[in-house]
Structure 1
Amino acid sequence: MLFSRILMITAIALMLFTRSHWPNDSALHETFDTLGYVLIVFCGMGRLYTTAFLGGLKNETLVTYGPFSVVRNPLYVFSWLGFTGFAIFSNNLWVMVLVPVGFCFVYHFLVKREEAFLQEKFGQAFTDYVARVPRFLPRFSNFNQPDEITVVPRFLLRGLLDNVWWFIIPLILEMTEF
């Protein structure tokens, strides 16, 4: 979360203190705004959906169903979509390139560390999981989910509150254009 917040603050600063490469009223500018916001909304919804499946089981149980059956790191994939959405929303070529690439660079090392922990904790079960589920590029044909899951309301609420900023920040940035 700390890395995400630092990256987001950096991205917001870049957006606030740099100029768009296209005029604010141009069709290209509006297209990038719309595409960026769609990715941000998809990020927020996907992160909340993933949080429901995680349900407070993180580091306690190896969750391999729902979004975790498609990709090993769905929270990071959805976050990457959100950061990329912010970058596109910025309408600044530098931000559009640097933010998604910076995210990949930072999270590459974080995921390596997490995977080493999971390998140690879950052993062969994690090895089998790694063999069938990709790290970042979704394999939708793998999707499976149980008929029911247990949702812990406090974790879902925390996930919801964590996701609110994905929706508020673009509105603030849009107001700064005025």
Structure 2
Amino acid sequence: MALTEQMESQGAWLFKYRSILPLIIFAIGIVLFLNNESNPENWILETNLQESLYELTCLLVAFLGFFIRIYTVGYSRPNTSGRNTEHQVADVLNTTGIYSIMRNPLYVGNFFMWLGIAMLTGNFWFIIAFTLFYFLYYERIIFTEEQFLKNKFGHTYLEWAQKTPIIVPKFSSFKKADYNFNWKKVLRQEKNGLAALLILFCLFDIGGEMVKEQRNFNETLYFAGAASIILYFILKFIKYNTKLLQDPE
């Protein structure tokens, strides 16, 4: 099998099972985090205030990624930038808005979301390893997606790809989105990400306090996590039982 065909085949498989990556990060990350919490001498932050500020920084990094996803999904065309896993879907080629400054904004958003989780471990080498693994993992997926887009949109795709960076944004080339922001699409697609993100932060906080045999829980974080779960089920009910979140035909 030629190298390009091998990369495309690997990318298709990774695309289908790309949701496994967060589980790997969480499994390894929680072990390292609990080890730090049970051995405070290994933790460079000495006070509760410093630790709280660091955790807030991690949360902000994660929410930066979530905001990138919201912006991307909200200004993307229908049947593009979705959560499909079985096969590639793109009715049109997005080239304006955030897609005018980089070709893969959703994966950049995912990176920051999971970087926030990785940072919680407080393990410098794990953060570096995660970053390298993430880009090696998604390199194949991006290759496969670009082969699909090149075959479907031909010269239009090649012309856009030639002037638009893969992941590092080129802000000078920004073009206003030619599609109005679609809150319905955002609510349909991103409810999962918000709930998962806050739940993971809650689990890290609970685990850390239990290891330290303390009860200094972050009640604000738990309230936000509980609210995100309630919102998730409300939106899920609306999605499958009403037409409120459907796009106009």
Deviation, structure 1 residue 113: 0.5
The match for 1:47 is 69
Gaps of 5+ in 1: none
Deviation, structure 1 residue 25: 4.9
Q: Could you say if the C-alpha distance between residues 161 and 2 of structure 1 is closer, same or farther in structure 2, counting changes exceeding 3 Å?
A: farther
**Aligned with 2:109: secondary structure?**
helix
Q: Could you say if the C-alpha distance between residues 147 and 7 of structure 1 is closer, same or farther in structure 2, counting changes exceeding 3 Å?
A: closer
Alignment pair present for 1:37 and 2:59:
yes
Of residues 89-98 and 134-143 in structure 1, the stretch that sits farther from structure 2 once superposed is 89-98
Q: Could you say if the C-alpha distance between residues 11 and 3 of structure 1 is closer, same or farther in structure 2, counting changes exceeding 3 Å?
A: same
Of residues 28-37 and 104-113 in structure 1, the stretch that sits farther from structure 2 once superposed is 28-37
- Tell me the TM-score normalized by structure 1: 0.87
Contact 1:33 1:90 in 2 (8 A): no
The match for 1:131 is 162
Match of 1:56 among 58, 71, 78: 78
Deviation, structure 1 residue 123: 0.5
Deviation, structure 1 residue 144: 1.5
Code of the residue aligned with 2:142 in structure 1: it is V
Q: For residues 118-137 of structure 1, what are the alpha-carbon distances to aligned partners after superposition, in whole Å with 9 as ceiling and x for unaligned?
A: 00100111011011110010
Contact 1:32 1:91 in 2 (8 A): no
Q: For residues 5-58 of structure 1, what are the alpha-carbon distances to aligned partners after superposition, in whole Å with 9 as ceiling and x for unaligned?
A: 322111111122222241675476445423321110111111111111124231
Of residues 155-164 and 116-125 in structure 1, the stretch that sits farther from structure 2 once superposed is 155-164
Q: For residues 138-170 of structure 1, what are the alpha-carbon distances to aligned partners after superposition, in whole Å with 9 as ceiling and x for unaligned?
A: 0111111147526272x3222221321123311
- RMSD of aligned residue pairs (Cα, Å): 2.2
Of residues 56-65 and 17-26 in structure 1, the stretch that sits farther from structure 2 once superposed is 17-26
The match for 2:127 is 96
Contact 2:75 2:182 in 1 (8 A): yes
Q: Could you say if the C-alpha distance between residues 11 and 66 of structure 1 is closer, same or farther in structure 2, counting changes exceeding 3 Å?
A: same
Code of the residue aligned with 2:43 in structure 1: it is W
Of residues 140-149 and 46-55 in structure 1, the stretch that sits farther from structure 2 once superposed is 140-149
Alignment pair present for 1:163 and 2:193:
yes
Gaps of 5+ in 2: 1-14, 37-41, 81-89, 210-249
- Tell me the TM-score normalized by structure 2: 0.64
Find the aligned partners of 1:147 and 1:112 in 2 and give their Cα distance: 26
The match for 2:224 is none
Alignment pair present for 1:16 and 2:47:
no
Find the aligned partners of 1:29 and 1:7 in 2 and give their Cα distance: 27
The match for 1:69 is 100
Q: For residues 55-111 of structure 1, what are the alpha-carbon distances to aligned partners after superposition, in whole Å with 9 as ceiling and x for unaligned?
A: 423111101111111110000011111121211122123321222211101100000
Q: Could you say if the C-alpha distance between residues 125 and 152 of structure 1 is closer, same or farther in structure 2, counting changes exceeding 3 Å?
A: farther
Give % identity. Answer: 21
User: Larger Cα Rg: Structure 1 or Structure 2?
Assistant: 2
Find the aligned partners of 1:36 and 1:82 in 2 and give their Cα distance: 9
Contact 2:74 2:186 in 1 (8 A): yes
Of residues 14-23 and 121-130 in structure 1, the stretch that sits farther from structure 2 once superposed is 14-23
